[in-house]
Amino acid sequence: MSFHSASLLRSQFAPLSQSYALGAALTHIGQPPLRFSMSKGRGEVQIIRRRMGPFRVGLISRADVPRDDIRRLAHEAQCGAFLLNPETQAGQAGIPLRTPSSVVELNVADPVKDLKAGLKQKWRNRLNYAQSQGLKISETGLNTHDGHWLLDMEVAQSRLKKYANWPTALTMAYARANKAQVRIFEARQTGGVIAAMLFLCHESVATYHIGWSGEEGRALSAHHAVFWRAVERLKERGTKRVDLGQVATDRAPGLARFKLGTGGTLKQLGGSWLVLPH
């Protein structure tokens, strides 16, 4: 498919689900997505195809596809149906499946802006407290041979709290297909790790992927110090935006408060829709 200069520009800030980095990871595990140019220079869209019985379904996540393009994409991708998770309400089409969720995005593009000024007061107080505790915060990549304890912790946590997350194999594939684009930040106190966060980098964006904090880490607000150090280092690497992911005030109110306290912008997405092009 042809590239448009506008699509290249927009791809620098594409969400993880529309990034070339995720496409490379899926290709690495033998499930390559498709990329198509939309009409009228509207950029590209990445489609993940899956079999559901006799049907081939295309997943388009966090992209607004014009309605006049859907039938053409169905033909070119050979999909009998689409599951759309549009970026905005403008991309809504078809049969509604789920109400819109929201994500938090933190703009770190301004080289002189004092990011601390945007923090909520309670968040800033906890950060100052955590930074006074003598925590040692380190940054590493993901070992593509041995994995990482944080991935194992995430599997156990998701089973306990009954939520779905990325398969560990896909996170490992992301690290293998995108050299040095998985960044892990750990906080230690007296030698032991008490909190950690993992980010997936793609173009000019870093997406928060996994986090963990133990009892001591929570008592010391270590996650605040870990996140802040991560923002500083990611910005040094050229990151312009940090995507903190969805907020769920009903299921995880504490995590929602943490994300909103960073001063990021709350952005409502377009919900989930089933589209039958024909």
Position 243 scores a pLDDT of 98
Say yes or no to pLDDT of 272 above 90: yes
Distance of alpha carbon 260 from alpha carbon 118, whole angstroms: 11
| Shared-domain flag, residues 145 and 204 | yes
Tokens read off for 121: 């007061």
3-state secondary structure of 208: strand
| Shared-domain flag, residues 109 and 9 | no
| Shared-domain flag, residues 262 and 194 | yes
Tokens read off for 180: 């040095």
Share of the chain above pLDDT 90, in %: 77
What residues make up the domain containing 241? 103-268
Position 160 scores a pLDDT of 83
| Shared-domain flag, residues 111 and 236 | yes
Q: Which DSSP state fits 87?
A: S
| Shared-domain flag, residues 140 and 182 | yes
Position 249 scores a pLDDT of 83
| Shared-domain flag, residues 118 and 74 | no
pLDDT in tens, 99-125: 999 999 999 998 767 889 999 999 999
pLDDT in tens, 163-221: 888 899 999 999 999 999 999 999 999 879 999 999 999 999 999 999 999 999 999 99
| Shared-domain flag, residues 117 and 203 | yes
pTM: 0.92
Burial class from Cβ neighbours inside 10 Å (0-12, 13-18, 19+) for residue 253 reads exposed
Say yes or no to pLDDT of 2 above 70: no
| Shared-domain flag, residues 150 and 182 | yes
Query: How many residues are given for the chain?
Result: 278
pLDDT in tens, 68-97: 899 899 999 999 999 999 999 999 999 999
Position 11 scores a pLDDT of 67
Position 112 scores a pLDDT of 63
pLDDT in tens, 206-221: 999 999 999 999 999 9
Position 41 scores a pLDDT of 82
Tokens read off for 134: 């003598």
| Shared-domain flag, residues 95 and 107 | no
H or E segment at 212? strand 205-213
Distance of alpha carbon 175 from alpha carbon 180, whole angstroms: 7
| Shared-domain flag, residues 23 and 96 | yes
SS3 content of the chain, % helix, strand, coil (to 5): 35, 30, 30
- Using 50, 70 and 90 to split pLDDT, how confident is the model at 131? very high
Position 3 scores a pLDDT of 30
- Using 50, 70 and 90 to split pLDDT, how confident is the model at 251? confident
Number of domains composing the chain: 2
CATH of the domain at 153: 3.40.630.30
| Shared-domain flag, residues 55 and 115 | no
| Shared-domain flag, residues 56 and 164 | no
